[in-house]
Structure 1
């Protein structure tokens, strides 16, 4: 490198929002936080020194992905870093939480929309849970807003349509089962694309 050339300074580390410090999660919890738009974020286990997942930061500065495998039970520690324009950041502050094999309320399973599916601006969400009570919230991970709420029926199924049209483009969502104010861990990330010609209205799956 010549004296006139300067290397790019490292970007600031990303922040981790979920899982919350001191919380309890399942073995494959949601990882969520903020960073530089279009940067690549990676989350690593501190104890085991292995990558738990990675993905790009959205245009509004949020990243979200589910842990690819299953974590060991007990206390876990994670940290994250982001790479922007080829330059990696330092590691973020550590985040500590406890992993349990059988949580009090299991995460919801999502049937529709399917992963990677194209849907219209008013898609339906459906799935099932392990307890025939309460309701399921669908949260848009890029806006942190509830976009659909579904009551659980006696067959442990749930189904609802979004309350407001979704903007065209890629969407990342997660589901939470709520029973009398107690909530499950975040479900696996479901990614889909909203288009004017996409599916999403009609009877859907049962």
Structure 2
């Protein structure tokens, strides 16, 4: 018979990193996204473990996401992620390498609405601006990877739209990209908001 002292704690596997993609080009401030154990806390560090880029909670869908702290210098970067669940911390993931460009061909879009951390309607409005008055902006639900809204950019570089379908109650983490002729920007800053049970703010 085994005793409680002999029972071995199940190891926690390292989380996966989806974005940034291996070998991709990003802007100095970019999206960190991947999968892990629901409710675990994921931490991302540089591959030398000298500084932390940030951390994010894993959703019920098994997705974690956040925008890095501060801005990264231009050049090649390597990162690793680990997750802590029920007091147990995993090993670090494999190194993910990507290249930071301070002046990307297309800047990431800026989102004005909905505001970070505020309640929103079931059919929230999204608005913002871009540095090039062309193309369109797509809004993605980071927990599902699905596009939930799209807006054409006007002649002043502004854009405005609503979600394609009403959102169910719950918390949402979204990010936006700017598409010009099939060429896509890096991800914008993560925007988090909550739709209440009655679908109104």
In the other structure, the counterpart of 2:193 is 192
Query: What are the Cα deviations for residues 66-89 of structure 1, in whole angstroms up to 9, with x where unaligned?
Result: 001111210000000000100000
**Structure 2 contact 61–143 (Cα < 8 Å) conserved:** yes
In the other structure, the counterpart of 1:140 is 141
**Structure 1 contact 47–76 (Cα < 8 Å) conserved:** no
Distance (Å, rounded) in 2 between the aligned partners of 1:100 and 1:27: 6
Q: Please list every run of at least 4 consecutive aligned residues from structure 1 whose deviation after the TM superposition is greater than 6 angstroms.
A: none
Secondary structure of residue in 1 paired with 2:55: strand
Q: What is the aligned residue count?
A: 198
Query: What are the Cα deviations for residues 159-193 of structure 1, in whole angstroms up to 9, with x where unaligned?
Result: 00001011101000000000000000000000000
Distance (Å, rounded) in 2 between the aligned partners of 1:28 and 1:49: 18
In the other structure, the counterpart of 1:204 is none
State whether structure 2 residue 1 is matched by structure 1 residue 21.
no
Distance (Å, rounded) in 2 between the aligned partners of 1:74 and 1:173: 27
Give the superposed CA RMSD: 1.3
Shift of 1:198: 3.2
Give ranges in structure 2 of 5+ residues lacking alignment. Answer: none
TM-score by length of 1: 0.93
Distance (Å, rounded) in 2 between the aligned partners of 1:198 and 1:156: 29
Give matches, 1:1-206, under 5 Å. 4-5=4-5, 6-47=7-48, 49-195=50-196, 196=198, 198-199=200-201
Secondary structure of residue in 2 paired with 1:170: strand
Shift of 1:48: 5.8
Give ranges in structure 1 of 5+ residues lacking alignment. Answer: 200-206
**Structure 2 contact 169–199 (Cα < 8 Å) conserved:** no
